[in-house]
Amino acid sequence: MNLENDLYSIDKKLLVKAGTIINSRTLKNIAGLSGKISYVPIKNTPLLTDLIHTFQDKRYADILYPHEINLKIISYIRRIKIPEKILSELAYMKKVSPYTYNHILTIAVLAGKIALDHSHKDKYLPDMALRLSLFHDLGKSRIPLRILNKRSPLTKDERRILNTHPLIGYILLHYYFGKNCKSMAFSSFQHHERLDGSGYPKGIKRINKYSHLIGIVDTLDALLSERPYRKSPFSLRAAIDFLLDESEKGRFHKGLIHALIRYARKERPGSKLIIAQRGRDKEPAGNSYGKTAPSTTRRISGKSIPLLDK
């Protein structure tokens, strides 16, 4: 794998030149550039305030409850420390791409919720789910805004560029975490992989459990959000139908989708889970989510894009 453009860190250090083959040796060299890593407690930053504000998102009122559970999630968030340079990355993203920034925080809270509810089964560690979610989309900060905010379906060339963001994030995390990168970087690299091998960037079927959890809530939030490529967002019911269909195709773990259904039935939490017939709600009209248009433009290459273009 390689990148079409030079890749710089948030402190403007050149990590990868365009065309460089990304392999284990390349990544090891990048991790060796990090030097001494300064970790910052989230509790002392505006990031904590923004994360707490996420619990007020009305789209997830039927998922982020009860109040006592939310307080537990916040207590985990307060304990998290992250590399200072990642904090700078998130601050930069908040400035130039507020949607992506808020999306990252939403994914962290949702993944933390599911992880906490499954922690008694030793399936997930809430603090790990929260931390990995905060890193998963860093690579989008290097994708041109004209692609991220495009209203019509992406061309094949544009989709190829968008699909490099997991690899970009993977490289950045090797630099930001240095020798500790192996336990953290996969959240970026695998969150668009699927259990049937239909995902990207590698098309693998064996996926880290945290990456898979992030991938599910990442898809849910993409469906429920207002985006340029459709007139209105999915309803919660239509989004869950979409996720159920994906699980039946073998792409998502059914148990995690069923957990979302149970959350959405908070008025009957103890009742037997019965999966209703599909089509309870329709997807929004004019939705181009995941669709690709014929390529009508030249490839975007040759120019260094160190950070998001404005």
Q: Judge contact between 166 and 201, C-beta under 8 A.
A: yes
* Average pLDDT score, the chain: 87
Please measure the distance between the N-terminal and C-terminal CA atoms of the chain and give it in whole angstroms. Answer: 27
Longest dimension (CA), the chain: 58
- The C-alpha atoms of residue 229 and residue 215 are separated, in whole angstroms, by 20
Task: Convert the pLDDT of each residue in 131-159 to its tens digit.
Answer: 999 999 999 999 999 999 998 889 999 99
CA-angle at 70, arms to 68 and 76, nearest 5°: 110
- Nearest CA to 215 out of 123, 301, 271, 133 is that of 133
Query: 85 is written with which tokens?
Result: 């340079």
- The C-alpha atoms of residue 153 and residue 40 are separated, in whole angstroms, by 39
- Tell me the domains of the chain and their CATH numbers: 7-26+35-269 (1.10.3210.10)
- Look at the block and give the residue holding tokens 């014929």: 294
CA-angle at 198, arms to 260 and 101, nearest 5°: 55
Q: What is the pTM of this model?
A: 0.88
Task: Convert the pLDDT of each residue in 262-309 to its tens digit.
Answer: 887 765 444 444 455 555 567 776 665 566 666 554 444 444 344 555
Task: Convert the pLDDT of each residue in 14-63 to its tens digit.
Answer: 999 999 999 999 999 999 999 899 999 999 899 999 999 999 999 998 88
